[in-house]
Amino acid sequence: MIRLLAALGMLFFLTGCTWDRTLGAFFDPVDGPRFQAPGAAPEDRAYLVIYRPYSEWAEDELEAPSVYVNGDVAVNIKSNGYALFNLEPGKYDVVLKRPAFGQDLFFMEDSFLEEQPVNFNRIGGFQINAAGGQTYYLRYSELTSPPYDPASKQELLGDGPLQFVSWRSGKDELGQTRMLQPLMVLAAPEIVEVVEEPEQEEGSWWLFGLDTVELW
């Protein structure tokens, strides 16, 4: 145990003291306020709730995965924790990644590594098309499936352990979770229109030759 702690301390020092951002519940248990339902979302905004139910395995986690929204770190999702986001209507790329001492495990994710069968960095992800007045509940668990909601007629959507659930399905688990961080307000990314310039037709080499070659 002493050797393990010494090794972890050395790695923490070598990574520029950035490991605290990804500490798991083993080192930093969630102690925020209990979950409170956000209420109805305004017509011009949307709510996104990301939560992780309690498990003994997650409680022993040294580092917890991070949720990235549109390429930026949004929350470190630890055992028995939740985070609330206030979204401007629009499209959001949500990706869950597994870190290594405060850093992404693969620094070349956009290279050939992304296409390999096993990617130890990426856990799951998809795009959310947030609509005004809507509240979305996103559940992360690698051990259990979401509670069954017989009243919900929609099939579960998600990517592996990261799945959307209904309020009826997730409310009991959510009621046990604690706040990971204060409310985060996010703006939808701007849509940049790419205007393609018309291709210029190449001049005929024969006509070009008329200007440079003396004809007999």
Mean pLDDT calculated for residue range 103-110: 48
The number of C-alpha atoms within 13 Å of 4 and in the hemisphere containing its C-beta is 2
Strongest mean pLDDT among 107-116, 139-148, 203-212: 139-148
Question: Is 13 a domain residue?
Answer: no
Per-residue pLDDT, 215: 31
> How many domains, the chain?
1
Question: Is 86 a domain residue?
Answer: yes
Which domain does 43 fall in, by range? Answer: 32-189
Question: Is 141 a domain residue?
Answer: yes
Question: Is 22 a domain residue?
Answer: no
Question: Is 200 a domain residue?
Answer: no
User: Distance between CA atoms of 148 and 166, rounded to whole angstroms?
Assistant: 10
pLDDT in tens, 68-98: 999 899 999 999 999 999 999 999 999 999 8
User: Distance between CA atoms of 92 and 94, rounded to whole angstroms?
Assistant: 6
User: Distance between CA atoms of 45 and 62, rounded to whole angstroms?
Assistant: 35
pLDDT in tens, 9-28: 544 444 444 556 678 888 88
Question: Is 23 a domain residue?
Answer: no
Per-residue pLDDT, 155: 56
Question: Is 8 a domain residue?
Answer: no
Among all chains, which residue has been given the structure tokens 């200007």?
Answer: 211
Long-range contacts of 154-160 (CB under 8 A, 24+ apart): 157/126, 158/124, 158/126, 159/124, 159/125, 159/126, 160/123, 160/124
H or E element: which one contains 52? strand 46-52
Contact at 8 Å (CB) between 166 and 154? Answer: yes
Question: Is 160 a domain residue?
Answer: yes
Polymer length in residues for the chain: 216
